[in-house]
Amino acid sequence: MEKKEKNVNTVISAYETVLKILEKYKIKDLIKGLLFLIVMYGMMIGYTLVQNEKFVDKFITETNKRHQDALKERQTIQPYVESVLNGLLAETKADRAFILEMHNGSNNPSGLAFQYAEMTYEEVSSKDIQLVEDEYTKILLAKYQLPTYLFNNYFFYGTIDELDSIDSRFANMARYHGTEYLAICIIQGKNTEIGAVGISFTNCEEIMKIDKGKLNKIMIQHAQELSTLLDYEAKINN
């Protein structure tokens, strides 16, 4: 009962306080003050929205510019990349020289990214050698063992049968295109792996003439040259 009376007294006291304020400052002045506060609050919200819109527009503009700059750089380096691959063909007498570049694909529902590789460049020693780059697009790396082997060992040199013991899925793809011997080496960027450069042979006769130590030096040298061309992040941060 006492608690109920206390609550009633509190309400009455608050009501009397409001009446005193209205009496002291007059309702008209109070309404003006409220309107002023509403207008100021609205202006603050409007200013914030305009600034956010400007920020978003600036972000989109800069993102588009970076994308266009990257495309322009890709066009610029293309003849140099092709020259490196053709030099690799001439030096090793391989049938095909190629680059597999890694890229991020879509994410799973929890945000975990899928990693893919794609054959972005391919050069062949003669018109009789079939181009296969269109068949090596969006390769989901999680399905293959060769990428893990390369990340751990940096390179692979061997026959298709030797590759079969490491990654039968990739070996079957290469075998389907007539490959009998494969040499592939990681292209290491400044901060991460960019991809891999490889050469393939339709028979083992020519490659058996090259000492593996010499082949190792040749592959690493060309991988370093390609890293300089393909490591765009290192270029723009210098």
pLDDT digits (tens, 9 = 90+) for 70-121: 778 888 989 999 999 999 999 999 999 999 998 877 665 555 667 889 999 9
Q: Which residue has the higher pLDDT, 209 or 20?
A: 209
The model's pTM: 0.71
pLDDT score recorded for residue 73: 83
Residues in contact with 175: Cβ distance below 8 Å, sequence separation at least 6, in sequence order: 160
pLDDT tops 90 at residue 22 = no
Q: Strand 96-107 and strand 113-124: pairing?
A: antiparallel
Q: How far is CA 142 from CA 53, 109, 117, 185, in A?
A: 40, 17, 10, 19
Q: How far is CA 117 from CA 25, 43, 86, 99, 198, in A?
A: 74, 51, 22, 10, 13
Q: What value, to the nearest 5°, has the Cα angle with vertex 15 and ends 12 and 19?
A: 135
**Is 31:40 a contact under the CB 8 Å cutoff?**
no
Q: Which residue has the higher pLDDT, 130 or 50?
A: 130
Q: Which residue has the higher pLDDT, 45 or 85?
A: 85
Helix (H) or strand (E) holding 218: helix 212-230
Q: Which residue has the higher pLDDT, 107 or 168?
A: 168
Mean pLDDT of the chain: 82
